[in-house]
Amino acid sequence: MITYDVLDVHVSVVNLEKAATLLRSMATSHRKGYICVAPVSTIVDARRDPAYRAVINAAAMVTPDGMPVAWLGRCQGFKEVARTYGPDLMLRVCNEGRIDGLRHFFYGATKEVCDKLEHNLKKKFPALIVVGKMAPPYMEQAEPVTQDEIQAINAARPDILWVGLGSPKQDFWMSLNREALNVPVMVGIGAAFDFHSGVKPQAPVWMRVCGLEWLFRLCCEPRRLWKRYLKGNTQFMYWVVKEALFGK
């Protein structure tokens, strides 16, 4: 897959349509791999942590989840790159995947969130096949799946395992457990569980298009997200400008 470099992270040259097509292709052809979504916060965390950067760069696809990440791709000459927002990717694959009979499994969040997520998605996309859902106990960092979890997930035979543990935990989790699970594709989807279950509000479309979703989320959860967005976004801008002016 063609990629472009954003602070040493290899971001895939995709847009929403292309990413959904590639994800479906991986699922139907049973090509094992995991997919990471990369907003600015993921790029910043990967810049700080070489181990995390290695996990992201080992993914089968890294989508430009944030508008600045997509803009940088276009600046490097890849005009087809567009923001490939994780929650939108999930909706598109759930919709189009009905043609392929794709089987979905949700891993993460809480039982209540998973139940609401399944209900809302099935209401939106009749005939959507959800073969299982699992809300694991809270973990500080990524942990190996238990034998019970392995048996339950493998027995359900999902084509796509949607992982909603939040970044960077979900990306480490997918890398750690890739070989233990007989699932063609795992996708670290972050806040999509909360958004599509209706537990948390989603930014208006105009804010997402303008690259201001971070501001909406910051206003909704200032105590939890201020460091990620205020400090992280500032560092991202500094590193990008510095690299543009002086090289790596």
Q: What is the DSSP letter of 10?
A: E
pLDDT for the residue numbered 164: 96
Dihedral sign, Cα of residue 28, residue 100, residue 14, residue 38? negative
Residues 6+ apart with CB under 8 A from 162: 90, 104, 105, 106, 107, 108, 187, 189, 192, 193
Strand, coil or helix: what is 152?
Answer: helix
- φ, ψ for residue 106, nearest 5 deg: -105, 130
pLDDT for the residue numbered 139: 92
- Return the bridge partners of 63, or none: 37
**How far is Cα 239 from Cα 234, in angstroms, rounded to an integer?**
9
Return the domain boundaries, the chain.
3-200
**How far is Cα 98 from Cα 220, in angstroms, rounded to an integer?**
34
Identify how many contiguous H helices and E strands the chain contains and give both numbers: 13, 8
Q: At what angle do helices 232-246 and 40-48 cross, to 10 degrees?
A: 70
Q: Walk along the chain (248 residues) in steps of 10 and give the mean pLDDT of each run.
A: 96 98 96 96 96 98 96 97 96 97 97 97 98 95 96 98 96 97 95 93 82 81 80 90 84
pLDDT for the residue numbered 73: 97
- Closest residue by Cα to residue 236 from 9, 4, 3: 9
Q: Which two tokens stand for residue 167?
A: 């970044």
pLDDT for the residue numbered 212: 81
pTM of the complete model = 0.92
